[in-house]
Structure 1
Amino acid sequence: MDLTTFLIQCLNAVQYGLLLFLVASGLTLIFGIMGVINLAHGSFYMVGAYMAYALSPIVSSTFGGGFFAVLVVGLVLSVLLGYVLEWAFYSYLYEREHLQQVLMTYGLILVFEELRSLLVGDDVYGVKVPDILAGSLQLGEMMTYPVYRLFVSAVCLALAVGMFFVFTRTRLGMMIRAGASNREMVQSLGIDIQFLYRVVFAAGVAIAALAGMVAAPVSSVYPGMGNQVLIICFVVVVIGGIGSIKGALVAALMIGVVDTFGKVFLPQASGVLVYLLMAGILLWKPDGLFKAG
């Protein structure tokens, strides 16, 4: 493998890892802070991808905007979706057993899949890369790298920095961390923990939907895409440590490197390498790489 090919594979690994982080960060927020095993989280990723496909003609004709306007509208709709879902369903799961949470959220997967089939069908759709990001960068004499993939990485990095700032430097982050540690104490201080949880859930849904929207031009939009990403996101959460944003970032990048280079050097075993990584880390640190926070 020459230097240019190695550099391209490194960029692919980072881009894949950062996209995984974008989805898994919302999952670790909901799982670690609210204590809910949310199997439907992958469906929010799918909803985001289908919004990128379905909203493009509507936004273009109504607002005259392009892909970036679709991202804004999709984010607003996903925040509203998350807020309503927490109010209507998830708020009843906090004190329930994990089995009931699993059954409830699995039922939501079936609902989302059926709604997707009724509204847009079961075909595979493509989402056009915005013209401003449609070019490629020259890497060496023969290789190029798509600008849009660099844009995806930049979006993921910006959100990672933003989440770290919110959780470590703001009053909202302090309340969220306190609510995750001792819900009763936070309520006794006069903080509306129910509204706080609703905000966290809406943010988690919006982050997953954003990941689906920015990934749509790269991976296309197809039925069941949320189920595929859900499993690997749970691996990210387990490796990084439940409730840890920093852990989710580190774990996602590790998985990105292992998966990308595994497909290059060990293609026959590439599907197993990520799970071997998880097993090795859990033998070393059973609670994951980092604690919540």
Structure 2
Amino acid sequence: MLRRTGLIGTLIGTLIGLLAVLLWTPAAHAAAPAASGCGVLAPGGSAAAERAIAAACAQVDAGTWYTWGGGHGARPGATYGQVDPTDPASEHDPERLGFDCSGLVRYAYAQAAGSDILDGDASRQFYTHRAADRFTAAQGSAPLLPGDLLAYGTSADLHHIALYLGAGKMAEARQSGTRLMVSDVRLGGDYFGAVRVNTGAVTGHVFRTWGTGVWTKTAPSVGAGRVYAFPGPTTIRVQCQKHAEVVTADGYTNDAWSYLPDYRAWMTNIYIQGPAWLDGVPDCS
């Protein structure tokens, strides 16, 4: 027969064991999808990517509105929107606290990284110098992991971006008149590709551009096809540089061009801060 003290100890031990079982649930240790279906739906994403998904899904589950221009305040977070002159459904956006597509992505990764690493519109987010990997539309969804960003549009005009959850699903701020949602990944139409975000230290040769409306090109030539125009000074990575077509612009003449891997494009060194031939950057040849 157990003595009184022994019986009390046994009861306490049993209660502690039951409490441990109750606490050890998937909900306590892994962000299971909520009723909305928003959550990490496949393995393989980084811890930071999973934090970004958790932040975005919290907004989805809260029923936050899409609002045009929302999420682009001085700091990441929901803001009141603006009227999109091309969309009659946006007439109430100035009354709605919420996010547009890039505003949601900005907020999610700011929460994940602890700093505002993806400020800007969809194009600037897709072409981020913080890319860990990139995928073309032709590669489909096979190489994607939770937390990757899916972009829609053309190289010169990416108009939409969303957060991949896995299992063919994505979280997005889609359009005026709707709330943030979970959608099937749309791989047809104007799907452009995806980027995996590096929330850690940036590697490579990092520089800063100057000027506004400066186009990157498909080849090191003024007459080559346009890829993307920097709206203002932008942080970029340079892979290599080479002597090519001579360019005269804004009082400078230079024949040096740099290859920017995040844009898969070229840019005259005239608009890259630094010497005419960039220090420490290898020759492309």
Tell whether the structures are fold-level matches, with TM greater than 0.5: no
Higher relative contact order (CA 8 A, sep 6+): 1
**Which structure is higher in strand share?**
2
TM-score relative to the length of structure 2: 0.24
Larger Cα-atom Rg: 2
**Which structure is higher in helix share?**
1
